[in-house]
Amino acid sequence: MIKTLINRPIVIIVLMILMALFGILSLKSLPYQLTPKVTRPIITIQTTWSGATPYEIEREIIQRQEQALKGIDNLVSLYSNARNSRAFITLEFNINTNLTQVMLEVSNKLNEVKGYPDNIDKPIIRATGEDTSPIVRMMLISLDKNKNVRQYRTFFNEQIIQYFERIEGVAEVFFPSGDNREMHIILDYQKLAAYNLSIDSIINTLERENVNISAGIMNYGRKSYRIRTNAEYKTPQMIADTILWSDGLKRVRIKDIAEVKEGYSTKTTASLYNGKEALSIFIKPTADANVLDLTNQVEKVFLSLNAGILAKEHLKLEWMYDQRDYIQQAIALVQQNIFIGAFLACGILLIFLRSITSTFIIALSIPLSIFGTFIIMAALNRTLNVVSLAGISFAVGMLVDSSIVVLENIHRHTKMNKPLFQAINDGTTEVIGGLIASVLTTIAIFIPIIRIQEEAGQLFKDIALAASSAVAFSLFVSLIVIPTLYYQIHKITPKFQTIPLKPLNTISQCLQNFGDKCVALIMFFVQKCLQNTKSKVLTILTLTSLPLLLGYILFPKMEYLPQGNQNFILSILNPPPGLSYNERQKIGEMLFTCLQPYLKENGFKGNEKMPPIHNIFYLGSESNMLFGLRSTEITRAAELIPLARECIATIPGISGNTSQAGIFERRGGAGRSIDVNISGENLESIIATALELQKIIFETFGTQTQIRPIPSLELLYPEFNLYPNNDRLKAVGLDSRSFGIALDVLMDGRKIAEYKEEGRNNIDLILKTQKSQISSPEELHRSLIYTPNGGILPLSSLALQKLEYGINEIRHLETNRTITLQINPPQNITLQEAMDKIEKEVLEKLRNNGFLGDNKLTLGGNANQLTKIRLALEGGFILAVFIIYLLMAALYEDFIYPFIILFTIPLALSGGILGLWLVDTFLIKQSLDVLTMLGFIILVGIVVNNAILIIYQSLHNIRIYGMDYQKAIIEAIRVRIRPIYMSSLTSLFGMLPLVLAPGAGSEIYRGLGAVILGGLALSTFLTIFLIPCLLSFFITKEKKYVL
């Protein structure tokens, strides 16, 4: 086949052009992403029951829904939250689960739930988690000082929100702040008493009058007529004219006892932007959304709305935060590293080959292989992201390995005075077996990686696909393109191989002399190692034990995934339960007062300790209180963390967790956290365990540890409970239900129906009194209500009032009551160290102190994922070694030689650990995360290549040329040392920019690069001495003969 293709250059050129053409087209079709999809499909079910307590929500909604949903196929985890008036259930599924199909199944399961209370809203199903981190944060502000932006919530829901919701990839537009528009009927108790009307009768009348009823179809003549009763309220006047009582002559209408007018709901959520009132709008993506494309689409809508509808209303959307700058910078950096790495690799080739033409021929394998990789990625519907590009960048140096071996072997055969055609054919054919084995081992190590199904395993797939595709195409180029080009060019310029670069002739000669001396020195030590049995054994023991000892000493503890350096700082506050709206608003103002001096717009220019703040947002709701910062200098955002913590510390009774948004963060503030789940039946017991656990954690890790309890550990949610006196209620014509309704009307007002204004969305019809929005228990105690038989009476005369305490939230994990402590250990403690301390020290102290009781503790969150992925990687490593062993056994038809080759793996592992330590010590802080661990698996497939070439050539020398055993090994080293060091150096320099170049996204692949560089460098150097010594003990079984 080689002979045929060498004489058909047109075919080869056409293939090269087609690869380049389709590669470019594929590149243009690939969507850009920061990372591959690593999140599991998540579904959230929200159910609203106005006025219900967490206990009632748990009993009547959560427990019923959990029973129906807990058996759904592919369900990984189920957790729920019962809060005031709302129930949230979050379902997390296996990564490859079809989201559309599972949403349908969830909907069907919910339809099977029976026994709901009468007045709950229909459950809402969303394709996102309740705590999923938004990818875009916007704030709605008013440009007119006379307009309160809070009153535009209904306007936003009616006319704006749909433009964002219809964008592909948007799972939810989270819009928590603002006041809903309502239609209020404001009762006058004096007039109510004068007409002797009860609140029950008014509600009953309004509910019965505000109806449309279909009476069917009447067929008359040639037409059919739809018969309907139309009585729904369309205007405030229709409500005011509603007749409450009539005897035919006199009548009482709503307007006689109440005022009907538009109003707004009670304020519940505080929201500020740079210290001013604003409404928060957060865009949450679906699990499979392309963040870059989605953000661009959101921005188009954002600009269109600001120029159109919002401008007419004197409103404006402010763009608070998105990830695009970071993504674009990260992709640009890794693309730059690919070009720099390719340039450096070509430079190494030029130094070794000292020929522009030879360098050009070999360097062609780089772009051709990369183009082929783009074709494969496009065919498999992958994205172009930092991880896949890093895989290509890592492969840049390796792409020339096969071409180097082929070209060097062709050179060797031409020096035997063979005819050119025969030299090319023999030189290429001779190394086909070794190259195929070498490439197969590199590709085979990715098989265990691709099968990993954990979240982080999705990252590995893109590296595996990109690197293995590139290496596979490089084999095709080396065996097909390189021999053909060499033959065709050599016919035109026969002496091009011996012509150095004339302007660099002196430098070239110096490098040649230096290289010859290095080879002579290495060969001297190789011969010394092979001198006798004692020297061989000493070499083997030294070169295996010392690297292993070094690796053991330097081996670090693990992190989960790299955090990145995004320009966003998020602080999640832990307030005491039951804070009022005014108090939450005050906290936001206090935070802004603390941060205001550091805003760029206020003249702060930054200093060595921190950059200026670009913008600040604050959100304070009943269930969540948080604020976020962005820096004007995108690479220095982390320096604002101490300032945020200082500001939190100035607020009495408030603590909080502050962290930089992580690249792979699924939940806000949970980028580098360990979830300790405390489950049981009794809430008081669970809370007692959690409080003691929290105390022990602070004692163990220090005060720099951040702990966020979910939910709050305080049971003291204030409740002002009224216990009706039934005897007195009966005497004045009331019962407990009518008393409760009257109290509801007296407070914030009671929703009695919907007001369906023509051409607008429905709003709530609220019945309230002139004294609604009572602000203190004393006011409530003195409040008056109307009774049918007793007239207007003080509330205190009808019920016993008690100040008691309840709970703010009840959380379930797998249907069990649970409190989760979200622990962020100090930066100087890795996630694995923290896990070990928690499992061995913290939990042991907790058990010994007797605070665990009947409760159950489990580790979740990133800690759980780290454990799973670590076990998967360890299994993958063992499987990769076994696969490589089998492939080499098939190549050599022997089980001994592959075992010898495997001795290079410990050298590589030690070198990888050393490389990681050097980067962490002298360059930048670098932990051993799961992406970095992948480097050790990749090394298995790379480092065996040099040993394969040495053993393959040694056997060739004995079997084909009949050499003595010792001479065959030494000659194999001498022949292969140049291509070994040339290919290794091109690989090392090709990957070098990934390790040294700082910038956005570099933290994703820097550790991986450090491991591969260190492992490849140490293994390449020591393999030259170790493998010959091992081989010398087993090669004597070979028979010498000449073909």
By C-alpha distance, which of 60, 69, 33 is closest to 169?
33
366-408 pLDDT, tens digit per residue, is: 888 889 899 998 888 888 888 888 888 877 767 777 888 888 7
Strand partners, 717: 806
Q: In the block, which residue shows the tokens 């206990």?
A: 55
Cα(58)–Cα(77) distance, rounded to whole angstroms? 18
Q: Prior bond to 711 cis, omega within 30?
A: yes
Q: In the block, which residue shows the tokens 């689409």?
A: 297
- E strand spans, 758-903: 763-769, 784-787, 791-794, 799-806, 809-813, 816-824, 856-860
By C-alpha distance, which of 725, 755, 719, 749 is closest to 739?
725
Cα(403)–Cα(369) distance, rounded to whole angstroms? 12
Cα(607)–Cα(26) distance, rounded to whole angstroms? 46
Cα(124)–Cα(117) distance, rounded to whole angstroms? 16
Residue 964 in 3-state DSSP? coil
Mode of pairing for the β-strands spanning 763-769 and 181-187? parallel
Q: For 1016-1034, give the DSSP string.
A: HHHHHHHHHHHHHHHHHHH
Q: In the block, which residue shows the tokens 């309890």?
A: 709
* Residue 870 CA, distance from chain mean position: 18
Cα(106)–Cα(126) distance, rounded to whole angstroms? 11
Residue 858 in 3-state DSSP? strand
By C-alpha distance, which of 84, 83, 97, 122 is closest to 41?
97
Q: For the domain 569-716+809-859, what is the CATH code?
A: 3.30.70.1320
- Cα–Cα distances in Å, from 951 out to 399, 827, 830, 907, 1014? 22, 47, 42, 17, 23
Tokens (6 digits) for 158: 């009616």
By C-alpha distance, which of 492, 496, 482, 493 is closest to 16?
482
What pLDDT shows up at residue 670? 55
Cα(768)–Cα(187) distance, rounded to whole angstroms? 6
Q: In the block, which residue shows the tokens 């172009």?
A: 384
Q: Please list the helix, strand and coil fractions of the chain in percent, rounded to the nearest 5, in that order.
A: 55, 20, 25
Tokens (6 digits) for 678: 């405390």
CA atoms within 13 A on the CB side of 1035: 28
Cα(800)–Cα(198) distance, rounded to whole angstroms? 22
- Cα–Cα distances in Å, from 1006 out to 278, 828, 926, 935? 40, 19, 8, 10
Cα(684)–Cα(682) distance, rounded to whole angstroms? 6
Cα(944)–Cα(933) distance, rounded to whole angstroms? 18
Contacts of 283 (CB under 8 A, 6+ apart): 134, 135, 136, 137, 138, 164, 170, 173, 174, 294, 298
Contacts of 707 (CB under 8 A, 6+ apart): 657, 694, 697, 698, 821, 822, 823, 824
Strand partners, 258: 187
Contacts of 411 (CB under 8 A, 6+ apart): 427, 497
Give residue limits of the domains in the chain.
2-34+327-561+867-1037, 42-126, 181-264+717-806, 569-716+809-859
Of all helices (H) and strands (E), which one includes residue 273? strand 270-273
* Residue 212 CA, distance from chain mean position: 49
Q: Quick one: fold of 2-34+327-561+867-1037?
A: Multidrug efflux transporter AcrB transmembrane fold (1.20.1640)
CA atoms within 13 A on the CB side of 33: 22
Domain spanning 42-126: CATH superfamily: Multidrug efflux transporter AcrB pore domain (3.30.70.1430)
In eight-state DSSP terms, residue 712 is -
Which of the four CATH numbers 3.20.20.70, 3.40.50.300, 3.40.50.200, 3.30.2090.10 does domain 181-264+717-806 have? 3.30.2090.10
Cα(468)–Cα(462) distance, rounded to whole angstroms? 10
780-837 pLDDT, tens digit per residue, is: 777 888 788 888 888 888 888 888 777 788 999 998 999 999 888 888 888 888 888 8
Residue 246 in 3-state DSSP? strand
- The answer to whether the CB of 591 falls within 8 A of the CB of 651 is yes
**Which positions of the chain have pLDDT values less than 50?**
496-501, 1042-1043
Longest dimension (CA), the chain: 129
Q: In the block, which residue shows the tokens 């939450």?
A: 584
Tokens (6 digits) for 753: 């129906």
Tokens (6 digits) for 503: 């302007």
Tokens (6 digits) for 256: 């006689």
Q: In the block, which residue shows the tokens 């930054």?
A: 606
Of all helices (H) and strands (E), which one includes residue 525? helix 505-529
What pLDDT shows up at residue 496? 46
pTM for the whole thing?
Answer: 0.82
Residue 978: count of CB within 10 angstroms of its CB: 16
Of all helices (H) and strands (E), which one includes residue 75? strand 75-83
Q: In the block, which residue shows the tokens 């090392």?
A: 988
By C-alpha distance, which of 32, 671, 665 is closest to 388?
32
Residue 181 in 3-state DSSP? strand
944-977 pLDDT, tens digit per residue, is: 888 888 888 888 888 888 888 888 899 889 888 8
Q: Do domains 2-34+327-561+867-1037 and 181-264+717-806 have the same CATH topology?
A: no
Mode of pairing for the β-strands spanning 276-277 and 279-285? unpaired
Of all helices (H) and strands (E), which one includes residue 514? helix 505-529
Contacts of 989 (CB under 8 A, 6+ apart): 341, 344, 345, 347, 348, 397
Residue 11 in 3-state DSSP? helix
Strand partners, 220: 223
Tokens (6 digits) for 123: 């459950």
Tokens (6 digits) for 155: 């306007």
Q: In the block, which residue shows the tokens 């189920």?
A: 78
Query: What is the b/e burial string over 724-739, where b = at least 16 CB atoms within 10 angstroms of the residue's CB?
Result: beeebbeebebeeebb
Contacts of 269 (CB under 8 A, 6+ apart): 176, 177, 178, 581, 584, 619, 620, 621, 622
